[in-house]
Structure 1
Amino acid sequence: MYGREFAEIYDLLHHGRGKDYHAEAAFVADLIRARAPHAKSLVDIACATGAHLVAFAGLFDEVAGVEISEPMVQVARKKFDGEVVHLGDMRDFALGRRFDAVTCMFGSIGHTMSEAELDAALTCFADHLNPGGVLVVDPWWFAETFTEGYIAGDVVEVEGLTVARVSHATRVSGKSRMEVHYTVARPEGITHFAETYLASLYTRQQYEDAFARAGFTAEYLPGVQNGRGAFVAARKS
């Protein structure tokens, strides 16, 4: 999952598909500052190649990122001076400090494979949050909103590349299994590779219960983030 070939085209592909990282980051920053007006520091978990993190860096005094895929980390680190992006697992990373805001975007929380792993991740997020801080989580599709057999396809032309992406998603043992095929055409030739992504299909109630177990009071905002919604949470006093 999230290998070198994908990391190399990740930014170009999502830019070509129209993903607006700066608008999403601004939306999330507004959610944070509505609840913590003086928030100055932020850590983005599962930050991939750091596209959201670059946008957050223009909105917060200090940012950091955590990503489990080493190829993604290598791409992300080229965008920053200093040690900003850390190789780590959302379930057990330890940065040795706390932040005013913690974010986990793009449905990445779904890569926890059980409620126990979800609990571990949210507890780890809580351990990195200052008192009065805010957590924003963009969940993967709920079990009740996932579309079985969903097919998506795009062809984008960016910076001399033509990239075709086709995906098919199925429900397997309480998880979504998305198989994605990429064809990349460059002046020197055409390459093809495929990746498979598993994500847990938790119910909304399972998420809310997990937030409570990790010591958060969470509010769910429906309809945002491409329809998946967003959870905005604060640690209980």
Structure 2
Amino acid sequence: MAEIYELLHEARGKDYRTEAATVAGLVRARNAQAASLLDVACGTGAHLRHFADLFDKVEGLELSEAMLAMARTAVPAAVLHGGDMRDLALNRSYDVITCMFGSIAYLKDVAELTSTLRSFADHLTPGGVVAVDPWWFLETSLDHHVSGDTVTVGRRTMTRVSCTEREGNTSHMVVHYVVAEPGLGVEHFAERHALTLFTRAEYEEAFARAGLRVTYVGEIQSGRGLFLADRPR
């Protein structure tokens, strides 16, 4: 999955460069001097490599060793940390902390969300900004959702089919992949994701309890919107 992750999503239409530039612009509207950035749950470095062109110093945090290995290749100048966002303790501060592509939804409940955002706040410089790209809100999520795409990048053809079922405030998504390449044959594998469907109010209350002043920017990020929160000076 780490090997095809970025290729697949870009071929499906995800524009990491534009998303990074949009986030940077919104951040600098709040902190024009922002120079250092930590991307939490940075994955393969898909956003981070573009943030590296927009900020003087970038770092990443990622739980998956396979994803982290890809990120080291993608962003060789970045300092990358292996670890879980729930246990963030890097003993340094950043002007910007980002958490992109719905990764925040892997937190299981409001208590984890609040404590994680509090640790984000603890790692901010005065006037620093947190940018969180949320998963779908409970009130806007779809049940029984199926999607599928087939794309070809170079010699490799990839098919992704997903089925999502909502159970309470959790989105259970099963994703199947078929990858084919001349000379290598066909490979199939599957993933399961359990993503928490927080309400917008739960996000905003968690930011407030973490001591952050939050604003929600709608429509962007494929319609999920973006939370921007700053630490008072």
State the match for 1:139 in structure 2: 134
Give the CA deviation at 1:43.
0.5
Query: Paired residue for 2:169?
Result: 174
- Tell me the CA shift for residue 12 of structure 1: 1.1
C-alpha distance in 2, partners of 1:62/1:146? 36
The one of 90, 107, 114 equivalent to 1:112 is 107
1:49 Cα deviation (Å)? 0.2
- What is aligned with 2:12? 17
Shift of 1:82: 5.3
1:64-213 residue pairs with structure 2 within 5 A? 64-81=59-76, 84-187=79-182, 188-213=184-209
State the alpha-carbon separation in 2 of the partners of residues 161 and 83 from structure 1: 29
Give how far 1:79 is off. Answer: 2.0
Match of 2:218 in 1: 222
Q: What is the alpha-carbon distance in structure 1 between the residues aligned to residue 10 and residue 138 of structure 2?
A: 29
- 1:145-171 CA-to-partner distances (Å, cap 9, x unmatched) read 000011110001002100000001111
SS of the equivalent of 2:86 reads: coil
Q: Shift of residue 85 of structure 1? A: 1.6
Corresponding position of 2:57: 62
Aligned residue for 1:233, secondary structure, equals strand
Can you give the 5+ residue segments of structure 2 that lack an aligned partner in the other structure?
none
CA distance, structure 1, for counterparts of residue 88 and residue 74 of structure 2: 22
What SS does structure 2 have at the residue aligned with 1:109? helix
Any idea what SS the aligned residue of 1:220 has?
A: strand
Deviation at 1:173, TM superposition (A): 3.1
1:152 and 1:166 in contact (8 A); partners too: yes
User: Is residue 48–residue 75 contact of structure 2 (8 Å, CA) maintained in 1?
Assistant: no
- 1:232, CA displacement in angstroms? 0.6
* Aligned-CA RMSD value: 1.1
What is the DSSP-based 3-state SS (H/G/I as helix, E as strand, rest coil) of the residue aligned with 1:8? Answer: coil
SS in structure 2 opposite 1:25?
helix
Identity across matched positions, percent: 54
Q: Distance in 1 between matches of 2:17 and 2:154?
A: 20
Question: Where do 5+ consecutive residues of structure 1 fail to align?
Answer: 1-5
Per-residue deviation, residues 33-58 of structure 1 (Å, max 9, x unmatched): 00000100100111100010000000
TM-score by length of 2: 0.97
Deviation digits for residues 177-220 of structure 1 (CA, Å, limit 9, x no counterpart): 00000000011200100001111011111001100110011011
